[in-house]
Amino acid sequence: MPSVGGLSPDKTQRTRVRLKVALIDAKFEQWELFVPESFEDIDASGRLTRVSSDQVQVAMLKDRGYRVAVEELLKRYVC
């Protein structure tokens, strides 16, 4: 079946997001740095849709990473 060159997936991309979170208490001059779990995803994209596909992939990974970071902050600091 013929296809338009830019529409069929021609590249696989592995992306990983690793966050570092700093919690700073300016009043008492204390701080803590922690690294929540990192997330990885593999996605295939075509030439014409690569930029938007990559942006969606990174946004999804950032969303997952931020959610885990907030959950970890709540576990550590909220009784």
Rama region for 38: left / alpha / beta (φ>0; ψ in -120 to 50; rest):
beta
State mean pLDDT over 39-64. Answer: 84
**Residue 48: pLDDT band with limits 50, 70, 90:** confident
> How far is it, in rounded angstroms, from Cα 78 to Cα 3?
55
In this structure, are residues 36 and 72 in contact, taking their beta carbons and an 8 Å threshold? yes
In this structure, are residues 62 and 18 in contact, taking their beta carbons and an 8 Å threshold? no
Give this prediction's pTM: 0.70
The tens digit of pLDDT for each residue in 59-70 reads: 999 999 999 999
> How far is it, in rounded angstroms, from Cα 4 to Cα 7?
6
- At 47, list the tokens: 């030439």
